[in-house]
Amino acid sequence: MTLYDDLHDLMKPSALYERTDAAFWDDEHISRGMLAAHLDPEFEGASRSFAFMDRSVDWIRAAAPPATHPRLLDLGCGPGLYAERFARAGYAVTGVDLSPRSLDHARRSACEQGLAIDYRRQNYLELDLDGTFDIAVMIYCDFGALSAGERRVVLRCILERLRSGGALVLDVFSRRKLEAFEERTTWEEHPAGGFWNAGPHFEVQRCSRFADAVSLEQIAVIAPGGATSYHLWNTYFTPETLSEELEEAGFEVAELVGDAAGAPLDEASPTIAAVARKPTTSADGR
């Protein structure tokens, strides 16, 4: 095999939503960089800015107050930035994430602040939780990173864990965001290391559109010790397609807005946030 063959294999055209075997949240170096990005109060590449999170929690608290929605499930909680804000706002919070490093930080931070947050390392496609929740949140467009089948699974898991009348809040990228997506192939040399590898390496990135509402960022990292590739998928929605998926899963869409802080929704909005509810049953009446 030549270097060309290796790179060609790493960057070959992918099937829709195809994954690679590399789990970057478990990588010692990458997970450290991801945590640092999460904790940067101004950076919006891993989490939203701290100021946005504050506005977001205020909006969610108004839409589903802790007095009537006390038990909150934070899916993809990362290092607990939202979870801590929810706990201080009066919710009883359970956070779910796959990253051991993020969860270690979240548990230490909650302990230092005296916040009783229950963190679980789980895949939210395979939730194994006791009891029910009054509200579930899935913020920073994680929903659109899943395949269509995975989205159906996660909505079913959430619906099963919500009490009758419970709320779901999630956000996605809009088709307007896709209009700004540029198809391109680039490469960079990182002689002193970078985000994807601690040592010297080359990074090749290809950005492609799939179908009419899906994009893929393929990243190949070529280092002296070997090569690894990563696939970052995004699905883009209209208000109609997002509502359709939620309703097909059994939710009732209560509100659509422009972002997870409640901004008005218009044609220029790069995101769409939804408040959906599990239908109230006559047995529950809530």
What global pTM score does this model have? Answer: 0.90
Burial class (CB in 10 A: 0-12, 13-18, 19+), 269: buried
Report the length, in residues, of the chain. 286
Q: pLDDT tens across 183-214, in order?
A: 999 999 999 999 889 999 999 999 999 878 99
Domains of the chain: 3-22+178-234 (no CATH), 30-173+237-277 (3.40.50.150)
SS3 assignment, position 97: strand
Q: pLDDT tens across 94-147, in order?
A: 999 998 989 999 999 999 999 999 999 999 999 999 899 999 999 989 999 999
- Helix or strand holding residue 247 (H, E): helix 239-248
Burial class (CB in 10 A: 0-12, 13-18, 19+), 85: buried
Beta-ladder partners of 75: 96
Per the prediction, the chain carries an average pLDDT of 90
Closest CA to 136 of 205, 74, 223: 74
pLDDT of residue 265: 97
pLDDT of residue 27: 75
